[in-house]
Structure 1
């Protein structure tokens, strides 16, 4: 998946485009397609089969409306394309599949647990794990940066949910199967749907066992928080807790690993790498630009609750509406020179974490993890070189790099230790 526009919009045949096709995001050029749609047909209907279809929204303003206004567009019928035409079994029980006001009451305790102040107490643990992930690069031999980053979310999510370290690798594999069941590297022996079901079965069985033990050993972790949560005077039922455990770990694994890989793929071999590395004041704006540029969550889906007109198109009540976040984050009406990676970009109103009531509840954790990662990269290494093919996930839900071989040049003073990188 190219992260820049490469084909002029007038050369794109929009009638031949299938935005559900996972191969497009693994091997194709969706940004050129989205650019053409923004300019020629920003609210466009795609028919999927004889009975199913959806509206694609590609402009920032429209995307913000769809995600923000729960009185017009609901999350409770499914938020991802694989659920198109199906009822979401988690509706009303999982935060991601629940509308306000119930969603607000469900979200409040989690939001209090994930404030900047609260997540700061995990900084030391996350820093140690990040150093462990980067330790292979100290050899100055080729290492797969993307593979290392795939395990990055578990350094925070695993710690904050109180999950055993020995389970983290398998949990990473299972969540990747959930978001990329079409990818040949992660697909099971059957169809994509069978891969998805198998991953879900194992994940839910895993968390069922965790809950059984955690009920008798409550702590200050996020799973214990869910176990103690009350909504409208009632404790969450087991199914709701399981669903939210799944949502938390999926959200972490969807966002965090693909931001540094997308950014590094763009800046390695350019002066931008040196500029960002040598100016600590650029950390915040650089991370935000990495989020905008990578836009790791490809889409969110909603359903219209009433008839509404959007840019002259009549969306009927019950129609599925899909917001393409990567497109909204390249909207030239909001972002000057949107196809330029600008580490000084300000303001930067990107919606990599979504928008409105469902703005990613774990954004504080993701930001902390990425700042720690880039700080460790820039303090430990002075240069990088891509030494192999960059491969992208086959997934219509995630824009992500799964392989990116690199060689790192170690800065003077960085050395091996049993615990990670030492300056």
Structure 2
């Protein structure tokens, strides 16, 4: 095996050894304080898979090239999701395997997501356009006052609000849900770390427990008052000739809400953090018709979900590397989305880039079930932002979230003026 210690220390920065990640691409501080893009570029240049040893008994293969990522994500028979898709479950059997949509393989996976997918078609979402637009305008309202506005904090709230409407969750619960969702994927981050324990694992576990307890109460209430919301859709979905069990419904409620919270906010945060003052926003605002392709480009470059994990079901060769049956493979979406062999000028934001077959929503049978809602929200968001405000300027230092799973910002102070 070739160890990922080959990443030069200058790219990793000052990422400390943590109890969940020894170094390199498994360390959450690489993505908050290190040069993770350069680290990925280095690994792509090796033209083979590299092995990341996490501790004395656990490790995984890093998949960083687009062609390999596409192959692993599409071939569910050779690369299963059911043993776990996140590094928190590395070395264990994910208890949600076969019960939660992201960690269930076809054909059961297909049956679990069919009705949910139907409820999230573009036509089905047309009725929600005004509600989403209203939420966006409400979040942006303080931006017009001329004072400092934390753009990232507003964006972190947006997907919970949009999903909250789609799932018919009480509005007063949204702020707490937003905090818990981020704590469940960013347990190392000081803003979410449990103050009592100071332990990342305890933070993530506590957030999961509270979220599942919350959805247990929602399930009991919704059972008495079924509607046409997404939770009711899950509760009335038949799988293997029977309705989903309560635990399956609650697990998938968490999955749907988490999916929204990681895919939607970090693309606009990326744009606002990296393209203020370079003319991109002015060019976009001058031709708002490019919003569709520009949103796809923002998704490609932001790659909000850093990775998903798979396990090999048999011995297989990937890019000249022998992967043994049972070996974990981590597909790094952000690296694949900047692969020079897949995208011309991959680091350049092109408002009209086509084709743009980025992997930010995955690929294959596990393609994000909520991609239509995320895309619709982002289009509304950018159209509202760029036709209502201008003269965007930084007003402080952006702060990235300390997480291996999500790539994005938690604080992004800016100012703007109404048009």
CA contact (8 A) 1:9 1:32 kept: no
With normalisation by structure 1, the TM-score equals 0.93
Matched with 1:107 is 113
SS of equivalent residue, structure 1 residue 56: strand
Runs of at least 5 residues in structure 1 that lack an aligned partner in the other structure = 1-7, 412-423
Does 2:411 align with 1:406? no
Q: Distance in 1 between matches of 2:146 and 2:331?
A: 41
Does 2:279 align with 1:276? no
Q: Distance in 2 between matches of 1:354 and 1:76?
A: 16
Q: Write the deviation string for residues 90-135 of structure 1: whole angstroms up to 9, x where unpaired.
A: 1111000100000011111111110000011111111101000000
TM-superposed CA distance for 1:263, in Å, is 1.3
CA contact (8 A) 2:12 2:36 kept: no
Give the 5 Å matches for 1:279-294.
Answer: 279-294=287-302
SS of equivalent residue, structure 2 residue 329: strand
Q: Write the deviation string for residues 315-367 of structure 1: whole angstroms up to 9, x where unpaired.
A: 00000000000000000011111111111111111010011100000000000
Q: Write the deviation string for residues 209-237 of structure 1: whole angstroms up to 9, x where unpaired.
A: 00100001010000011111111211110
TM-superposed CA distance for 1:70, in Å, is 0.5
- Match for 1:64 among 47, 62, 70? 70
Does 2:211 align with 1:206? no
Runs of at least 5 residues in structure 2 that lack an aligned partner in the other structure = 1-6, 14-21
Give the 5 Å matches for 1:88-237.
Answer: 88-189=94-195, 190=197, 191-237=199-245
Give RMSD over aligned pairs: 1.6
CA contact (8 A) 2:50 2:61 kept: yes
Q: Distance in 2 between matches of 1:408 and 1:83?
A: 42
Does 2:337 align with 1:323? no
Q: Which stretch shows the higher mean deviation, 28-37 or 258-267?
A: 258-267
Q: 1:233 to 1:31 in 2, by over 3 A?
A: same
TM-superposed CA distance for 1:29, in Å, is 0.8
Q: 1:148 to 1:173 in 2, by over 3 A?
A: same
TM-superposed CA distance for 1:303, in Å, is 0.2
Matched with 1:300 is 308
CA contact (8 A) 1:122 1:156 kept: no
CA contact (8 A) 2:12 2:34 kept: no
SS of equivalent residue, structure 1 residue 70: coil
